[in-house]
Structure 1
Amino acid sequence: MAIGLTWVVPAGSYSKLFYDSMSQKLQVTAPTGEINKLPADQKSLDALGININIGQFTNGSIRKPISIPDTYQRLPQAPMGIEDIAVSMVHGTIEGADIIVFILVLGGLIGVIKKTGAFNAGLIALSKKTRGKEFLFVALVSLLMAIGGTTCGIEEEAVAFYPILVPVFLTLGYDAIVCVGAIFLASSIGSAFSTINPFSVVVASNAAGISFMEGMGARIFGLVVGIIFVIGYLYWYAKKIKADPTFSYTYSDLESFKARYLSDDTHNHHIDFTLRRKLILLLFALAFPLMIWGVTIAGWWFPQMAASFLSIAIIIIFISGLNEKDALEAFTQGASELVAVSLIIGMARGVNIVLESGMISDTILAYASQLVSGMEGSVFAVAQLIVFFFLGLIVPSSSGLAVLAMPIMAPLADTVMIPRDIVVSAYNWGQYAMLFLAPTGLVLVTLQMLGIQFDRWIKFVWPVVVFMLLFGAALLVGQVMMLS
């Protein structure tokens, strides 16, 4: 479909602005490819009509090229061909190398821990302690993931939790969809109603030329309501499964889930939860707050996260007493189980490369900005939500869409006399409503990991998409009405 669009949608591009840290200058690249360098000062930004503090560029807060308003230019059509499918997937895999290495190292770490028997022993102990109050575990996982989403934007990193928590949920009598709800839905709801998430609301606010504290009250209110909705929806679904296991949307695949995620030893109640195994699980658990600290405080990204997971794997190998051969085989086996997931990431990124190479992403953005320009305040806010919903399919990266669209969309709020933070909120809520569905995002990765068919996922997630759009629209209209 992406290749077909490059034949139909007119090609075009905005001029792009980028801070070159080597020369310490602003670099403007015209749609036709000409490059012009400007002094890295506020005067240069003002002359370009960009209402962003120069410090956001020089301190690295804005790392990607941003679109310059009123510079869109039609270009000769650049349709992509069938031969570009494979090429774009290869380039997408190369671009996603940091995430792919992270996922493979994670798989290796999990493989080592499985070999020690720590997971199985822990699962048995957990299943004994949670009898009669199983949903409490689901609610706690959901709450923690939502907090992770709203504070540090846990999204790609969430794949680390699936191989661990799916066996837990199955042991407690639930299905894989409950696990996806507690991890993917909850973390995405947290990211949608971001408070201090540096990869969405912070970068979007910076690109809009405002402080990320603006609009915080509405986002906090939305976060509380969103968490309540997700946990309530999961409670309804989990209660249905407990009453009638055949209600599960993935009931026909339940046995294959169990065969994949529950080894025979899981049901062997003679596995001792020894001090060594407890220490191994403690080290594994510490990897995640360490990851969150690294992302939010220390400026880590996937290479650093992968290195931290690899370090913990090495420490666990020494503690476990595994010999070199067994440890290497366990690590390799664990990594191999996530190869398919890694390749899907490259394929998904390949779609975006096709749209960018065909030069239609900016055209779609230009048409969208013209569509909402000059509307009445409340209508404008809801229209922005809808626009960002569809842009989320074209650009599934939260930070990527922020730097692409916000310099164009945010100034339009000035023309209808509403604050720019409303556009930032519309971006968050609209894009994430789409990311629950978009095959160009993390959805396919998640479904591949758990063996869930896409149509069954749609059956489960559509009420959440409707909630995000209706509740988001109501919040936006409420904010605009409070201004009058």
Structure 2
Amino acid sequence: MRKIKFPSAQSILLIIAALVTIMTWIIPAGKYNQLLYDKEAKVFSVKSAETSKNVPATTKTLDSLGIKIPLEKFTSGDIWKPINIPNTYKQLEAKPQGFFDFVKAPIKGIIAGADIIFLILFIGGLVGLMNTTGAFDAGISWLAKVLKGREYILIILVTALISIGGTTFGLAEETMAFYPILIPVFLAAKYDAMVGLACIFVGSSVGNMFSTTNPFSCIIASNASGINWTTGLTTRFIVFVIGTIICIIYIMRYAKKVKNNPTHSIIYDQKEEIETLFHKNSGTTISLTSRLRLILLVFTMCFVVMIFGVAKLEWWFLEMTTTFFVGAILIGFISKIDENTFIDSFLKGAGELLGVALIVGIARGITVIMEDGLISDTMLFYASGMTEGMNKGLFANMMFFIYGGLSFFIPSSSGMAVLTMPIMSPLADTVGVGRELVVDAYIYGMGLFSFINPTSLILASLAMIKVGYDKWLKFIMPLFFILIVFTMIVLTISAYT
């Protein structure tokens, strides 16, 4: 009998998009009024489904709208996106999405996600150029010698550093750039690609899950809740450290099994395919010349500059993509390759990541269907009513699972914060807990579900190394449940202290 093959990432997303399209026929359409600060005119704009009007940007206006957020959070630019206004939800005329809306959604998603898509393509182009120069193979051969017998250090360093990036400045989409350079290093260390994937993706996810100073999650959520972002910071820092240690131990246990016996690898049947994909040389030692060292330095500096720009200079996708483009040009000059070889190498590398770019676009298309079908706010409205009359511990954990579920439909952390916090955070007042508990439940719920959320980054990350979603679930689910238990204990203790 023919073996049933697990669907590809693209197929999974299209199936989800079809289901969401059907949901727009079942779930009532509705919307909250929204408030946006116009920094040019220095007024608030209040938008409903039918009208839009400007009102004075004053504390009195915020009080009249039931928004318990200090005025300076808007005027300083801490809150720059439209926020939902509490108690303004109303049902609207249904806007069910049809077949043509469904087939147009991926195209709309690709257009909407052009920023990250171009970043991925330019990273692919740069990596293709690096493979042509031979710098990767030489650098990996050198690193394999340096780490011989101490390969576990690689797991600790990569996971910890990326986790720190996640908790401090929201390192997430940027990690797509790390797979082409780090996966070959893990392969050279006699691990499988799953170990490299886990160190990068789990590191980023657990860092974002237990955010401390991340401006795209805990800071913007705290601002939208009307509290200082430092409230609850100590607890978040402690659970960040413990959570990261749990993840490192989990990855190291799996890595040790694979190193001792490669057949224990979840992706052992793909060993040759993945090693070929990442150009792992077959025992040939390539000399690391001065020119290749300089090429590797330029390549590494691209990432250093990118991280510095995002963390300190408010860079985003345009600046990040430009950094890799400039790096590619510099490497072309240093390696002295001719123009045609440069273009062919760049295009070949970009082409290898085209499938990843399309996955990002299709995932964005799911959000487009929900927004056009007007069902996102309806789900938020009913979710906010589920916690009425609960005790403190149950409230905290219910919020955790509600945010995990909502993140399937709203995978953007900053988008989730501004849309939900003005609605959800006042619920803490009725239960008798601090609003920081709702902020914690939000970042924990969104962060944990990102480990498996198909509408987030995991499918694009898996596509980078050609690993199926089913194999990832087999690897990650034990850790996923460990973190659920750990987080529920943390939230329950926080609710009563």
Q: Which amino acid aligns with 2:35?
A: L
**Which residue of structure 2 aligns with residue 126 of structure 1?**
143
Matched, 1:456 2:468: no
| Residue matched to 2:7 | none
**How far did residue 141 of structure 1 move?**
0.5
What pairs up with 1:195-206 in 2 under 5 angstroms? 195-206=212-223
Tell me, yes or no, if the aligned pair for 1:41 and 1:54 is still in contact at 8 Å: yes
Which residue among 414, 423, 426 is the counterpart of 1:399? Answer: 414
Q: Measure, in 1, the Cα distance between the counterparts of 2:127 and 2:39.
A: 39
**2:13 counterpart residue number:** none
In the TM superposition, residue 49 of structure 1 has moved relative to its aligned partner by 1.1
Number of the residue aligned with 1:69: 86
Q: What's the counterpart of residue 11 of structure 1? A: 29
Aligned to 1:371, the other structure's residue is in SS state coil
Whole-angstrom distance in 2 between the partners of 1:245 and 1:124:
20
Partners of 2:126 and 2:325 within 8 A in 1: yes
| Alignment partner of 2:329 out of 299, 303, 314 | 314
Query: C-alpha displacement at 1:21, in angstroms?
Result: 3.3
Deviations 1:460-480 (CA, angstroms, capped at 9, x unpaired) = 111222123211111111112
Q: Deviations over 1:325-346 (max 9, x none)?
A: 2112211111111111111111
Determine the structure 1 residue equivalent to 2:14.
Answer: none
1:422 to 437, 441, 460: 437
Identify the residue that residue 53 of structure 1 maps to in structure 2: 70
State the partner residue of 1:158: 175
2:222 corresponds to 1:214: no
Q: Which amino acid aligns with 2:472?
A: W
2:157 equivalent to 1:149: no
Of 255, 260, 264, which aligns to 2:277?
Answer: 260
Identify which of 224, 247, 250 aligns with 2:267: 250
Q: Residue 288 of structure 2: which of 273, 279, 288 is its match?
A: 273
* Residue 342 in structure 1 maps to residue 357 in structure 2: yes
Residue 432 of structure 1: aligned partner = 447
Counterpart residue number, 2:185: 168
Displacement of 1:243: 2.0
SS state of the match for residue 38, structure 1? strand
Ranges in structure 1 where 5+ consecutive residues have no aligned partner: none
- Distance (Å, rounded) in 2 between the aligned partners of 1:111 and 1:54: 49
Q: Which runs of 5+ in 2 are unaligned?
A: 1-18
Contact 1:208 1:407 in 2 (8 A): yes
1:454 CA drift (Å): 1.1
Counterpart contact for 1:429–1:468, Cα < 8 Å? no
The 3-state SS of whatever aligns with 2:386 is helix
Identity percentage over the alignment?
Answer: 43
Answer yes or no: is 1:187 the counterpart of 2:204: yes
1:263 Cα deviation (Å)? 4.6
Q: Secondary structure at the match of 1:322?
A: coil
Tell me which residue corresponds to 1:230: 247
| Kept after mapping to 1: 8 A contact 2:206/2:448 | no
The 3-state SS of whatever aligns with 1:267 is: coil
The answer to whether the aligner puts 1:103 opposite 2:120 as a matched pair is yes
Secondary structure at 1:356 match in 2? helix
Within the alignment, does 1:326 sit opposite 2:344 as a pair?
A: no
SS of the residue aligned with 1:449? helix
Alpha-carbon distance between aligned partners in 1 of 2:347 and 2:256, rounded to the nearest angstrom: 38
Going from structure 1 to structure 2, the CA distance change for 1:53 and 1:296 (only over 3 Å counts) comes to farther
2:375 to 353, 356, 360: 360
Equivalent position amino acid for 1:209 in 2: G
Equivalent residue number for residue 318 of structure 2: 303
Taking the aligned partners of 1:49 and 1:293, their CA distance within structure 2 comes to 39
Match of 2:38 in 1: 20
Which amino acid letter does the alignment assign opposite residue 121 of structure 1?
A: A
Q: Is the 8 A contact 1:430 1:469 kept in 2?
A: no
Alignment match, 2:95: 78
Residue by residue over 1:427-448, the C-alpha shift from the partner in whole angstroms, topping out at 9 and shown as x without a partner, is 0111112111111111110111
Moved more, 311-320 or 68-77: 311-320
**Mapped contact 2:188–2:280 kept (Cα < 8 A):** no
8 Å contact kept, 2:83–2:422: yes
TM-score, normalised to structure 2, is: 0.94
Off by >4 Å, runs of 4+ in structure 1: none
TM-aligned CA deviation for residue 452 of structure 1: 0.9
Question: Which of 85, 91, 97 is the equivalent residue of 2:108?
Answer: 91
Letter of the aligned partner of 2:441 in structure 1?
Answer: A
Spell out, residue by residue over 1:46-99, the C-alpha distance to the aligned partner (whole angstroms, 9 max, x if none).
221112222332333223211110011011221111211221111111111111
Q: Which amino acid aligns with 1:20?
A: D
**CA distance in 1 between partners of 2:428 and 2:22 (Å):** 33
Question: Deviations along 1:201-260, whole A, 9 cap, x unmatched?
Answer: 111111111111111111111111111111100111011112221111111111110111
3-state SS of the aligned residue for 1:445? helix
Calculate the TM-score normalised by the size of structure 1: 0.96
Q: For residue 19 of structure 1, report the CA deviation from its aligned partner.
A: 2.0
What SS is found at the alignment partner of 1:154?
A: coil
Instruction: Give the conservation status (yes or no) of the 8 Å contact 1:429–1:469.
Output: no
Question: Does the 8 Å contact 2:32/2:84 carry over to 1?
Answer: yes
Greater mean alpha carbon deviation, residues 248-257 or residues 372-381: 372-381
CA contact (8 A) 2:221 2:421 kept: yes
The count of residues paired between Structure 1 and Structure 2 equals 479
